[in-house]
Amino acid sequence: MRSVFAAAAALTLLAPSAWANYDVKARITCADVSGSKLAKLKLDNADIIGACLGVAPTDPSVDNYAVTFDSDTRELHVLRRCDSLIMCDLTDQLGCQTAGTNTKGEIDTTASCAYRMRDINGIDIEGTLVCREREKWSAAKDKYSFSTACEGTYSSDGVTPCTISFRSGKAFDESGVCPVGGP
């Protein structure tokens, strides 16, 4: 176990800039009441960002934020695009099983991880995600790659049942100008 921690510490020193936030595109389907029937309500990143900020998903300010997965802390976040400020933490890791190689000069692992969904800006969220993660890094090639695909279920305010899925995409890039006076 000590060697695993030593290898992880060495990798952190060797490649601190390799780990990053990755853009994700969430697909959410919730049960919605439409008259006397149940209907499907489709939600996406704008709905997550709007809930985090306490604004409507159609508010223009939503475009200044992104939903990302952090390959270092293994958390789903809402980040401000201009400076990567974390606006909301959306998950906590519950547990993870990892297999593969993790040496001083290389990482080539796959993992299956469970996450707890966190409350969003006063909205009570109860649920979990299961993610399949892949991480590769080579000191010799100075190349890092990460991907995750997640699926889960949750309820919002103990009433609305939903399913959520997402995959990581490209590495997140800061862009834009931060607003004067705060988030």
Instruction: Please report which confidence band the pLDDT of residue 12 belongs to, taking 50, 70 and 90 as the band edges.
Output: very low
Q: Of 25-29, 132-136, 165-169, 176-180, give the lowest mean pLDDT range.
A: 176-180
More confident residue, 58 or 143: 58
Residue 176 has pLDDT above 80, yes or no: yes
Amino acid residing at 183: P
Q: How far apart are CA 133 and CA 135, in angstroms?
A: 7
Residue 125 has pLDDT above 70, yes or no: yes
**What share of the chain has pLDDT > 90, as a percent?**
64
Token pair 């009433």: residue: 159
Instruction: Please report which confidence band the pLDDT of residue 68 belongs to, taking 50, 70 and 90 as the band edges.
Output: very high
Other residues' Cβ atoms within 10 Å of the Cβ of residue 40: 10
pTM over 0.85: no
User: For the residues 23-38, what does the mean pLDDT come to?
Assistant: 90
Q: How far apart are CA 52 and CA 34, in angstroms?
A: 26
Residue 181 has pLDDT above 80, yes or no: no
Would you say 74 and 96 are in contact if contact means Cβ atoms under 8 Å apart? yes
